[in-house]
Amino acid sequence: MTSRPLGCICAIVLALFSSSATAALAAGACPKVNYATEYAKLQKVMSKSAFPRDEQAFLLGGVERQLSDLSQRQLNVRGQECGTKAVRAHVIGCVNATLLPALGSIRSPGSKSGKALWGKANVSRREAITIGMFDACRLAAMDTFVSGP
């Protein structure tokens, strides 16, 4: 798998997510999401998509590590109003909304990508797509809840 299709998918997701995040900002409401609920949904998406258990464990552990780096003091005013749990749940909710369509766009999802991501060499294509979706969602949330006023 080349990085170009993954990059294109991530750019599209980032653009869509950023515009919806901007609309949410204009509305003045924090996302109504729950971390445990969104995390459970992500586990179900992975199970439905036939992710092997070792890949699920790797990805879910990576999601938790990546999101644990986000602290209350990093948040902007908007982010502080919502709180870190809501921001973290917002990221996972974005992944839940985008992962299945992204996975549907690749052939041979279990084949190796040749990429090293999140400290793992030669991740599968489905792992690479999941990490790409997560990173795009996390960046969009950072723009909304960490950067700026």
Percent of the chain topping pLDDT 90: 50
For residues 50-66, give the mean pLDDT.
95
Give tens-digit pLDDT for 101-140.
998 888 887 789 888 999 999 999 999 999 999 999 999 9
**Number of separate domains in the chain:** 1
For residues 78-106, give the mean pLDDT.
91
pLDDT at 8: 44
pLDDT at 26: 35
Residues 8, 48: Cα–Cα separation, whole Å: 25
**Nearest-5° angle of CA 48, CA 53, CA 55?**
95
Q: State the residue range of the domain holding 33.
A: 3-145
